[in-house]
Amino acid sequence: MYKTLIRMINDMKLRTKLILSFIVVVFVPVLIVGLFLTNELREMAIGNAIDQAATNVDRVKKRTSEVVNVSYDIAYRLANDTRLETVASRRYESVYDVVKAYKEYPDFREYMKLYREIGNIRLYVDNPTLLDNWEFIQPTDAIRNAEWYQQATSSSLVDWVYIVDERDNVKYLSLVRRVDFPNQGKSGVLVINVNSRMLNQILNQESFDTMIVDSSNQIVSANRPGRLGRPLNELDFENLIKHEETGTFETVVNGSKSQVMIEELKPAASMNGLRVISIFAIDDIVGEANQTIRLAVTVISISLAVAIFLIYAFSILLAKRMLRLSKNINKVATGNLGIVMEIDGKDEIGQLSRQFNAMVSSINALVVEVQESNQQKRQLAQKQNEIKFKMMASQINPHFLFNALESIRMKAHMKGETEIAKVVRLLGKMMRKNLEVGNRSIPMRSEIDIVRCYLEIQKFRHGDRLHFELLIDPKVEETLLPPLIIQPIVENAVVHGLESKEEGGLVRIKAELVGQDVHVEVMDNGSGMTPERAESVKQSLLEQDDDERNRIGLRNVHMRLQLTYGQEHGLVIDSVPSEGTRIHFIIPFGGRSDV
């Protein structure tokens, strides 16, 4: 088999061999690599789209949950409101009594003013002495026979349905639940409409085709026109997917291959829930990738065409030279020894032509018995000088700075300046720790180490005017907290509390375990603050926008504590003029986050 292949290759013309070798060595590998990269680029685009869709669906789910949970909370409050029971179940003697009772119970209207997440609140209750005012409504036979009404009266759980509001004959996603009046032995049906505009605003911020669907496959909100209120069955994709609660599926939607992502949203104590459905066409996602692929294919095709043309032209050039050599050899074979072949070049063909001329000359000398000197062979000398230049560049980084500080410290130490050496070492240590600080939490002992370095440096500056105490409970040393929380407070105590005090003072840092919480306190006996100044500082911690007059350091610490552990974990400031300032905060033991 091997010999047959070699013989077939040897039987081919040189031009055919060159073209075949180009196809095998260049064209086929480029084609394979191109197909592989094209597929990878396409899969990457789809994967990124799926990740983005998952993020979008999760965001829609969370924001929708926040909206519907408002209705749930209000329904829970109303279901346990004895005042509502009194108004709804009381037997009234006159219209005046009814109007007076309605006026004394404004809770429905107040809830609608306070919470923009709800559109309407109404209570269906059998009490012929009540007046229908779109809040308290006597159920008609049509309402009593409605499936949602019967479902509500037969269960104490919350039901989420897409029903018509009698006020404007428009459908809303509504919370429906039974409200029992145990003192009267009666019950009513509470309906709270979810604000459709808020649901639409949530979906309109999404780039993909996104819908919110109830348990009966009714589209209650969508970011594409013409879908609101339509059943999911009218959309053109597989019926099996329409009943899936969660997952990612590949299907055909409106004739286009698409990805469908479904996420279930089921509020607490509900007999049913909602589903968030996101759809994106694969062709739209890979469109940019396909454009890049087409451009790459065009460039590669042109490059291959140019390469084939050059290979073909080069093969013709070689074939012509070989053909000339073959013709001259045939002439010598017929006895023509006066031939001098001229084929330029220093490649193998040129070498063969020169050897052929030398051979013909030798034969001529033997035939005519004329002594001729042999043709001197040309000696080719080729010199190539290569000069390589290497450029080296040094890069200054934090390690260079640390090394420089260490050199200064060693010089000071060698000259007996131990105090300067100590301060330089503390400065280098503090800078290194600050540079190493990232977004992750650090142990309490690391934060206290930074504080200790800072205070030692300040003590070097202020001398005996500054004293400090570190009272750290060993139990809390491994408690995690955000980096650079205590140091800005200590810096504030030194700069604003003690520097303006001529005789200096004391800074005490205390951290102790109290129950399941760690209490951290920074106290100074400096100049303190007037009540007006203290109140101004406290107000600055609550402001939303930065201002050049604000204490950015304390506000930053205050906000990070609240963002990490909750609103109740911010800074607490107590200050007395001429006596000092105390700033403290509380974090959970172990550093767990409650947010």
pLDDT digits (tens, 9 = 90+) for 509-537: 999 999 999 999 999 988 888 888 888 88
Q: Is the dihedral of CA 368, 373, 374, 375 positive or negative?
A: negative
Given a cut of 80, whether residue 222 has pLDDT beyond it is yes
C-alpha span between 252 and 372 (Å, rounded) = 89
Ranking 42-51, 237-246, 364-373, 423-432 by mean pLDDT, the lowest is: 364-373
Residue 176's pLDDT is 94
3-state secondary structure of 215: coil
Instruction: Tell me the pLDDT tens digit for each residue of 273-290.
Output: 898 988 877 776 666 666
Asked whether the beta carbons of 281 and 260 are under 8 A apart, the reply is no
pLDDT confidence tier of residue 271, bands split at 50, 70 and 90? confident
Residue 73's pLDDT is 93
Bridge partners for 281 per DSSP:
258
Given a cut of 50, whether residue 394 has pLDDT beyond it is no
Residue 62's pLDDT is 92
Q: Which helix (H) or strand (E) holds 68?
A: helix 28-79
How is residue 246 annotated by DSSP? Answer: S
CA angle 527–532–535, rounded 5-degree value: 95
Instruction: Tell me the pLDDT tens digit for each residue of 163-181.
Output: 998 888 889 999 999 999 8
Residue 13: Cβ-neighbour burial (10 angstroms; 0-12, 13-18, 19+): exposed
Mean pLDDT of 70-77: 92
pLDDT confidence tier of residue 398, bands split at 50, 70 and 90? very low
Given a cut of 70, whether residue 412 has pLDDT beyond it is no
pLDDT confidence tier of residue 239, bands split at 50, 70 and 90? low
Report which listed range, 19-28, 276-285, 286-295, is most confident.
276-285
Per-chain mean pLDDT for the chain:
78
pLDDT confidence tier of residue 315, bands split at 50, 70 and 90? confident
Cβ neighbour number for residue 230 with a 10 Å cutoff: 14
Instruction: Mark out the alpha helices in 205-245 (DSSP H runs).
Output: 239-242
Residue 234's pLDDT is 77
Ranking 82-86, 194-198, 471-475, 590-594 by mean pLDDT, the lowest is: 590-594
Q: Is the dihedral of CA 351, 357, 361, 363 positive or negative?
A: positive
Ranking 78-82, 165-169, 292-296, 580-584 by mean pLDDT, the lowest is: 292-296
- What would you report as the CA-atom Rg of the chain, rounded to the nearest whole angstrom? 44
Residue 240's pLDDT is 52
pLDDT confidence tier of residue 188, bands split at 50, 70 and 90? very high
Residue 396's pLDDT is 35
pLDDT confidence tier of residue 337, bands split at 50, 70 and 90? low
Given a cut of 80, whether residue 553 has pLDDT beyond it is no
Given a cut of 60, whether residue 547 has pLDDT beyond it is no
Residue 244 tokens, joined: 């899936």
Residue 372's pLDDT is 42
Given a cut of 60, whether residue 457 has pLDDT beyond it is yes
Mean pLDDT of 452-466: 82
Instruction: Tell me the pLDDT tens digit for each residue of 360-385.
Output: 777 777 766 544 444 434 432 333 33
Residue 72's pLDDT is 92
Helices H / strands E in the chain, number of each:
19, 17
Residue 419's pLDDT is 63
Long-range pairs for 304-313: beta carbons < 8 A, 24 or more residues apart: 304/26, 304/27, 304/30, 307/22, 307/26, 308/19, 308/22, 311/18, 311/19, 311/22, 312/15, 312/19
C-alpha span between 479 and 592 (Å, rounded) = 9
How is residue 226 annotated by DSSP? Answer: T
Mean pLDDT of 444-470: 85
Given a cut of 70, whether residue 452 has pLDDT beyond it is yes
Domain annotation for the chain: domains and CATH numbers: 13-285 (no CATH), 304-367 (1.10.8), 465-591 (3.30.565.10)
Residues 39-72: b if buried by 16+ CB within 10 A, e if exposed: eebbeebbeebbebbeebbeebbeebbebbebbb
Residue 442's pLDDT is 86
Q: Starting at the edge strand that comes first in sequence, how are the strands of the sheet with 256-265 ordered?
A: 219-222, 209-213, 274-281, 256-265, 247-253
Asked whether the beta carbons of 67 and 81 are under 8 A apart, the reply is no
Residue 484's pLDDT is 84
pTM for this entry: 0.46
Asked whether the beta carbons of 560 and 485 are under 8 A apart, the reply is yes
pLDDT confidence tier of residue 346, bands split at 50, 70 and 90? low
Given a cut of 90, whether residue 471 has pLDDT beyond it is yes
3-state secondary structure of 510: strand
Q: How far is CA 303 from CA 16, 18, 28, 211, 569, in A?
A: 20, 17, 14, 47, 66
Q: Which residue has the higher pLDDT, 501 or 372?
A: 501
